[in-house]
Amino acid sequence: METVWFVIVTLMLAVYVVLDGFDFGVGMVYPFVARTEAERRTALASIGPVWNGNEVWLITAAAVLFFAYPKAYAAGFSGFYLALILVLWLLIFRGLALELRSHVNHALWKQGWDAAFTAASLLLAVVFGAALGNLIRGVPLNRDGYFFVPLWTDFLTGPEPGILDWFTVLTGATSASILAFHGANYLAMKTEGGLHRRTASTASVMGWVSAGCTLLTVIAVPFVQPSLRLNFAGHPMEYLVPLSGVFALGTSLYLRCRQRDTAAFLTSSLFILMMLASVGFGMYPHLLVSTTDPALSLTVFNAATDSYGLTAGFAWFGIGFALALAYQIYVHYLFWGKARADAH
Amino acid sequence: MASALLYDRLQFAFTATFHYFFPQLTMGLALLLLYLRSRALATGDEHYQQASEFWTVIFALNFGFGVVTGIPLEFQFGTNWARFSNFAGGVIGQTLAMEGVFAFFLESSFLGVLLFRKRFSRGVQWCAALMLFLGSWLSGYFVLATNAWMQHPVAYQVGEDGRVFVDSLTGLLTNPWLFWQFTHTMTAAVVTASCVMAAVGSFYLLSGRHVPYAKTFLRTGVVAGAIASALMIFPTGHGNARQVFEHQPVKGAAFEGLFATERGASLYLIGQPNLETMTIDNPIEIPGALSILIYDELYAKVKGLDAFPREEWPDNLPLLYYAYHVMAGLGTILLSVMGLALFWLWRGRLFRANWLLWLLMLSAPFPYIATSAGWMTAELGRQPWLVYGLLRTADGTSPLVHSGNALFTLIGFVGLYLLLGVLFLFLIGETIRHGPAPAGPQSAHGA
């Protein structure tokens, strides 16, 4: 049961990154591709009805982590204190920008929120990428199962790392470039005309940038966290997951060149899912890896709640989750097709 | 670390109080909107359709602020209260995760349908309004189930490592504490929404604008408000107070200002608690009333603070006392105003009674103050416990988050929320100034 919940949490976070990831991506690219107010409204209308539902995946994944692995939730959230509060502030700005931009018809009001939305989207993409980098690299857990990392120390991945070091900066940049690519694919799928043309060419550029960043990250990982390879070495079949991720990226780049918007978006989604699944396979059973003493690492076994909670939770979760998927698919279906500026 | 504890508490109290300004309106308004949408669907009348859309814009604005200010609360359990999360996550994590899975997906999915409404028929819109109502009340239920467990822990076992685990989900969701807490909180939410709706109606009627809408808003707000404010006091408020005296007698004694155990205890309406002399200064009291209210008996013995050791007293006694009295006082005032307005409405004179319209308009802030004070009563009164009888607040903080970090984020939240408050008031003012669109295709949300 501990393993089942690990799969569920990983999957929910991965789905979150795919869904809210395209919101971040649209946020990062739209000021550069949408030139007129009408185009900007169209770009925002493409995510307007769905971003809030996408964000719920994060909140729910965090709550599931809380109930299944309270010890890891407590350690992780207090240990990354400053980064998480920063995430909260950025999420507040992002949400406000999307909700409030349309309320006042004044050019300065709109410019201000555009800037806030782009900055918040970019920073969130970087911070989430850096967070993943921190999980891979590990944290200095103490004997009570807690740690605290400052925002940065000496930018090295040594025993006393900061949230930002050279490796997590790299994962942050990788995340930002991948999500910009992914978001541009989404926006291309949702738009027409000049806006579509500019978005598609931005997507191609970001596709190659993210391929480059991904390559650097994949090269760097074994130096930073050699143990990630152990799981794969033990189960060579698991190599299929990262390989299919790489294959999805290649396909997505190819489809991008062929202007197949929907297919490019679906394959970039698959790429993100597969890369995160690879990290999940590599990390298991660890939730938080200790940089000081491997015995202090928090795993799905020593951080979990008891078996009644995990099993009873599974029953309601199955029902609730099926319902939630149904609404989400229904809403995405309702808003399927090209976005229009007047839809809001 | 003592100062970190203070900042952690202030940060949670501040962010939670600010957050609750929004959901209390949306939960109540979801019910009123369902009524307006039902009328629109049943009569096919454009008037009710436009009225619903106006309030949907206000709902959405509040919902948006509620979402962005709500996420920090869930996160703070982990960031600032790590030892509490580790201790109790096996229990309260369940209800919080249920809230996400059952309520948040429902609300966020269907609000989009209501806002981007032009594509959809009134039937679909009505269904979406129903789903929003269900979602927001379910959300309230799960959050209150979480709080009820902290007030009155049930259905748990203590593990070998000292952490607690849930041993019956049904027990957790049917916590006896929850019944009165849920009904009281929800009726209070309906009071907030009704007061706001009646206040907007009064404003329009007094200024002679949107008069047909003003009358609809007043009728809906006053009828719902009168019923809900009566239910808020009796039986739900009364039931809550009784269960406090049954399960948390020291909290009850503290918020009533009862220092000494008495037979035929007085109810203090006004007065200042004096911790030097352990009395209430300048009291205005009803002799014997507390005994009657709690035990239905004039000479029943009510335990005062002297029956409990000092370290079990809530740590901010005067504030708790005032919070409770502000809540109870404003609740009574709201019932009087709404009752009066209902009587005038029934006599067909409300729309001409300018003094009463002014009163309704100026009463709009009262339910917000009353509910905030009500939560302060519940939460300050729970001190010094974080989980009543199981975990003290001082033992729930994050061990490695130092006061410098906690103060940094507290200051950040205060600054950010000040900005949020200004923006919210500005936008809500704009929306009300614009008013419901007469009959044109564009509405306030059209841009």
Q: How many domains does chain B have?
A: 1
Identify the residue whose tokens are 């902290």.
Answer: B150
- Which residue is closest to A330 within chain B, CA to CA? B109
Token readout for B224 is 């719902």
Strand B301-302, strand B262-263: pairing:
antiparallel
Determine, yes or no, domain membership for B111. Answer: yes
Mean pLDDT across chain A: 90
B116 touches chain A (CB under 8 A): yes
Which residue type is seen at A144? D
Report the C-alpha gap between A46 and A43 in whole angstroms.
5
Is pLDDT above 70 for B1? no
Single pTM value for the model: 0.93
Q: pLDDT grade, residue A48 (50/70/90)?
A: confident
**Tens of pLDDT, residues B237-289:** 999 999 999 999 999 999 999 999 999 899 999 999 999 999 999 999 999 89
- The verdict on a CB contact (< 8 Å) between A309 and B82 is no
The whole-number average pLDDT for the span B305-328 is 94
| Per-residue confidence (pLDDT) for residue A292, from 0 to 100 | 83
Q: E strands, B151-299, where?
A: 156-158, 164-166, 262-263, 267-274, 279-286
SS3 A160: coil
Provide the 10 A C-beta neighbour count for residue B8: 25
What secondary structure does DSSP assign to B339-354, as a single string? HHHHHHHHTT-GGG-H
**Tens of pLDDT, residues B168-196:** 999 999 999 999 999 999 999 999 999 99
Predicted ipTM > 0.95: no
Which range marks the domain in which residue B385 is found? 2-177+247-261+303-321+378-434
Sort out which chain B residues have CB atoms less than 8 A from A102's CB and list them: 445, 447
SS3 B385: strand
Question: In degrees rounded to 5, what are phi and psi of residue B242?
Answer: -65, -40
The whole-number average pLDDT for the span A111-134 is 94
| Per-residue confidence (pLDDT) for residue A72, from 0 to 100 | 94
- Which residue is closest to B63 within chain A, CA to CA? A99
Report the C-alpha gap between A231 and A218 in whole angstroms.
16
Within the 74-103 window of chain B, which residues sit less than 8 Å (CB to CB) from chain A? 74-75, 77-80, 82-83, 85-94, 96-102
| Per-residue confidence (pLDDT) for residue B138, from 0 to 100 | 95
Question: In degrees rounded to 5, what are phi and psi of residue B81?
Answer: -125, 55
Among residues B13, B15, B2, which one has the least CA distance to residue B414? Answer: B15
Of A16-25, A266-275, A301-310, B384-393, the one with minimum mean pLDDT is: A301-310
| Per-residue confidence (pLDDT) for residue B6, from 0 to 100 | 94
Of A154-163, B373-382, B420-429, the one with minimum mean pLDDT is: A154-163
SS3 B282: strand
Distance from the Cα of B51 to chain A's closest Cα (Å) equals 19
- The verdict on a CB contact (< 8 Å) between B401 and A78 is yes
Is pLDDT above 80 for B118? no
The whole-number average pLDDT for the span A101-115 is 91
Token readout for A241 is 């997951």
Distance from the Cα of A307 to chain B's closest Cα (Å) equals 9
Report the C-alpha gap between A74 and A303 in whole angstroms.
10
Provide the 10 A C-beta neighbour count for residue B291: 21
Is pLDDT above 60 for B424? yes
Q: In this predicted model, which residue has the larger pLDDT, B443 or B159? A: B159
B418 touches chain A (CB under 8 A): no
Provide the 10 A C-beta neighbour count for residue B371: 23
The whole-number average pLDDT for the span A192-200 is 91
| Per-residue confidence (pLDDT) for residue B110, from 0 to 100 | 86
**Running DSSP on this structure, what letter comes out for residue B315?**
S
Report the C-alpha gap between A229 and A283 in whole angstroms.
9
Identify the residue whose tokens are 């349908």.
Answer: B113
Q: pLDDT grade, residue B445 (50/70/90)?
A: very low
Q: In this predicted model, which residue has the larger pLDDT, A339 or B208? A: B208
| Per-residue confidence (pLDDT) for residue A342, from 0 to 100 | 53
B447 touches chain A (CB under 8 A): yes
User: Domain segments of chain A: what residues?
Assistant: 2-334
| Per-residue confidence (pLDDT) for residue A341, from 0 to 100 | 62
Report the C-alpha gap between B377 and B185 in whole angstroms.
13
- The verdict on a CB contact (< 8 Å) between B400 and A147 is yes
Residues 6+ apart with CB under 8 A from A56: B100, B104, B105, B108
For residue A287, the surrounding DSSP H or E stretch is strand A286-288
Question: In degrees rounded to 5, what are phi and psi of residue B375?
Answer: -65, -35
**Tens of pLDDT, residues A208-217:** 999 999 999 9
* CATH number of A2-334, picked from 1.10.3210.10, 3.50.50.60, 1.20.1630.10, 3.40.50.720: 1.20.1630.10
- The verdict on a CB contact (< 8 Å) between B82 and A74 is yes
Report the C-alpha gap between B157 and B165 in whole angstroms.
5
Residues 6+ apart with CB under 8 A from B349: none
Report the C-alpha gap between B129 and A162 in whole angstroms.
47
Sort out which chain A residues have CB atoms less than 8 A from B119's CB and list them: 334, 343
Percentage above 90 pLDDT, chain B: 88
Distance from the Cα of B421 to chain A's closest Cα (Å) equals 12
| Per-residue confidence (pLDDT) for residue B337, from 0 to 100 | 97
Q: pLDDT grade, residue A206 (50/70/90)?
A: very high
Distance from the Cα of residue A342 to its chain's centroid: 30
B344 touches chain A (CB under 8 A): no
**Running DSSP on this structure, what letter comes out for residue B164?**
E
Write the CA distances from B381 to B2, B143, B144, B388, integer angstroms.
Answer: 20, 18, 16, 10
Identify the residue whose tokens are 């490796």.
Answer: A167
Which residue type is seen at B382? R
Q: pLDDT grade, residue B165 (50/70/90)?
A: very high
Distance from the Cα of residue B175 to its chain's centroid: 19
The whole-number average pLDDT for the span B85-102 is 93
Residue B148, strand partner residues: none
Of A42-56, B340-354, B404-418, the one with minimum mean pLDDT is: A42-56
Q: Give the residue ranges of DSSP H helices in B296-316.
A: none
B430 touches chain A (CB under 8 A): yes
Sort out which chain A residues have CB atoms less than 8 A from B116's CB and list them: 48-49, 335, 343-344
- The verdict on a CB contact (< 8 Å) between A320 and B447 is no
**Residue B68 contacts residue A290 (beta carbons within 8 Å):** no
Is pLDDT above 60 for A109? yes
Which residue type is seen at B286? I
Instruction: Closest CB to A56: pick one of B97, B98, B100.
Output: B100
B105-115 and B46-79 helices, crossing angle to 10°: 150
Q: pLDDT grade, residue B447 (50/70/90)?
A: very low
| Per-residue confidence (pLDDT) for residue B438, from 0 to 100 | 61
Among residues B187, B294, B312, which one has the least CA distance to residue B243? Answer: B294
| Per-residue confidence (pLDDT) for residue B114, from 0 to 100 | 81
**Residue A105 contacts residue A254 (beta carbons within 8 Å):** no
Token readout for B238 is 């009364």
Is pLDDT above 90 for B129? yes
Is pLDDT above 70 for A306? yes
Is pLDDT above 50 for A268? yes
- The verdict on a CB contact (< 8 Å) between A77 and B77 is yes
| Per-residue confidence (pLDDT) for residue B443, from 0 to 100 | 40
Which residue type is seen at A40? R
Report the C-alpha gap between B396 and B150 in whole angstroms.
12
- The verdict on a CB contact (< 8 Å) between B115 and A344 is yes
Report the C-alpha gap between B15 and B418 in whole angstroms.
11
Provide the 10 A C-beta neighbour count for residue B443: 16
Instruction: Closest CB to B100: pick one of A59, A89, A104.
Output: A59
Q: Give the residue ranges of DSSP H helices in B248-286.
A: 249-256
Report the C-alpha gap between A180 and A185 in whole angstroms.
9
**Tens of pLDDT, residues B324-368:** 999 999 999 999 999 999 999 999 999 999 999 999 999 999 999
Token readout for A281 is 């396979």
Among residues B142, B18, B9, which one has the least CA distance to residue B414? Answer: B18
